[in-house]
Amino acid sequence: MSDRPVPPRELWLLAAGFTVWCSALVALYAIHGIGCSFGWSVDSLRLWLSAALLAHLTVLSWMWHDITRAGPPAGFGLTGAFLHWAVTATLIAALAATVITFGPPLLLATCI
């Protein structure tokens, strides 16, 4: 086989995007729970939530940008191309999911 073997790391990258989505859920749910329990002000809580969401969106955007800029890795053959496409697609899906799942709720009443 003339192609170089795709390192297993590429397989685990499939999980990367949605791991960030899960992290966003944990962070936002925890911040919200702590803020409501400890009586933070409405504006303060919304600010922290927005900051946490923004941080995760930044990470996801950077990951997407990074993988698109690099392009499909050369010399890894069809397996490499397949994983590259799949990883990119999961990143885009995770980014969309993060925006949709966590954006609109931040506009709602905070602790009721």
Partner 1 sequence: MSESAEQQSQGATALRLHRELVAIWGTGPGLERLAAVNHSIIGRRMMITSFVFFAIAGVLGMLTRVQLATPNGNFMDPETYNQVFTMHGSMMLFLFAIPMVESFAVYLTPKILGTRDFAFPRLTAYGYWCYLFGGTILTVALIAGVAPNSGWFMYTPLSSNIYTPGVNADVWLLGVTFVEISALSLAVEIVVSILKMRAPGMSLDRMPIFGWYILVTAMMMIVAFPPLILGSILLEVERAFGLPFFDPTRGGDALLWQHLFWLFGHPDVYIIFLPMAGVLSTIIPVFANRPLVGYRAIVVAIVALAFLSFGIWVHHMFTVGIPHLALAFFSLGSAIVAVPTAVQIFAWLATLSHGRPRWDVPMLYVFGFFFVFVMGGLTGVMVAMVPFDWQAHDTYFVVAHMHYVVAGALAFPMLAGFYYWLPLLTGRAAVHRLAVPAFWLVFVGFNLTFFMMHLTGLLGMPRRIYTYQGDEGWNWLNLLSSVGGFVMTIGFALVVIDLIVQLRYGRRVRYNPWGSATLEWAMPLPPPPYAFASIPSLGPWSSQNASGDLTLSLARGEGYLGFARNGWQETLGVHMTTGEPEQLIVLPQPTYLPLFTGIATAAAVLALLFKFYLLSILAALATAGLFLLAAQRAGLARDYGPLPVGHGVSVPPHTEVAEAPAWLALICTLVADGTLFTSLLFGTFYLWIAAPNWSAVMTPVPSRMFVFVAVAALAVAAAAARGSIRAVAAGGKASGWMSLAVLALLAAIAAAVGLIAGVLPHPREHALGATAAALLSYVALHAGIGLLFLISNLLRLGAGFIAPRRVLDLRLTRLWLDYTLVTGVIAMGLVLTLPALVTVLARP
Partner 2 sequence: MLVVLSGCKGPLSTLDPSGPAGASIATLWWLMLAGAAVLFALVMVLFALVIWRPGWGSSVSPGRWIVLGGLVLPAIVLLPLVAYALIAGERLLPLPGHAPARIEAIGRQWAWTFRYPDQGGVETRNVLHMPAGAPVDILVTSQDVIHAFWIPRFAGKIDAVPGHVNRLRIQADQPGSYAGQCNEFCGLGHAGMRFDVIVHRPEDFSAALARAAASGEPEKK
Tell which one of 50, 58, 85, 95 touches partner 1 (CB under 8 A): 85
Residue 94: contacted member of partner 2, partner 1, none (CB under 5 to 8 Å, by partner type): partner 1
Tell me, what DSSP letter sits at residue 72?
A: S
Task: Write the CA distances from 16 to 26, 71, 105, 112, integer angstroms.
Answer: 15, 17, 24, 33
Toward partner 1, which CB reaches closer, 30 or 65? 30
Q: What are phi and psi of 109, to 5 degrees?
A: -55, 140
CA distance 67 to 90: 11
CA distance 55 to 43: 18
Toward partner 2, which CB reaches closer, 8 or 104? 104
Toward partner 2, which CB reaches closer, 39 or 104? 104
Residues found near partner 1 in the complex (CB under 8 A) = 1, 3, 5-8, 10-11, 14-15, 18-19, 21-22, 25, 28-30, 32-34, 36-39, 78-79, 81-83, 85-86, 89-90, 93-94, 97, 100-102, 104-106, 108-112
